[in-house]
Amino acid sequence: DAKTTQPTSMDCAEGRAANLPCNHSTISGNEYVYWYRQIHSQGPQYIIHGLKNNETNEMASLIITEDRKSSTLILPHATLRDTAVYYCIVRVAVTQGGSEKLVFGKGMKLTVNP
């Protein structure tokens, strides 16, 4: 599985956009970029994923660079409830019979301040 690099922590002001970077310079062409977050000790929460194109859903936007070596998760209007550990995961597309596990790194702690 390709390795990802995230900052250890980041602060953001409430109401502002939070831009969370992730480097995945060894990503392969068939590997997806996934973002999850974990609030305190709750179960990891799926946010968004993408392969090549930028993606947007009700929670966030995912911007993937053209060379796919890095990506940015954007929370457009951060709230206090967005304070969490955010995980950027690169996941290989295996054929049936392989493992589709998620490999979590240490993640990045985002703190949204009032």
CB atoms within 10 A of CB 78: 21
Find the binder of another protein among 29, 41, 58, 67 (CB under 8 A).
41
Find the binder of another protein among 42, 53, 58, 81 (CB under 8 A).
42
Find the binder of another protein among 8, 66, 81, 96 (CB under 8 A).
96
The footprint of another protein on residues 44-83 (CB under 8 A) is 44-46, 49, 51
Task: Give me the least distance between CB of 44 and another protein, in Å please.
Answer: 5
Nearest CA to 19 among 66, 61, 52? Answer: 61
Task: Quote the CA–CA distance of 60 and 14 in Å, as a whole number.
Answer: 15
CB atoms within 10 A of CB 108: 21
Does residue 37 touch another protein according to CB under 8 A? no
CA angle 35, 81, 85 (to 5 degrees): 40
Task: Give me the least distance between CB of 55 and another protein, in Å please.
Answer: 12
Residues in contact with another protein by CB under 8 A are 30-32, 34, 36, 41-46, 49, 51, 87, 91-94, 96-106
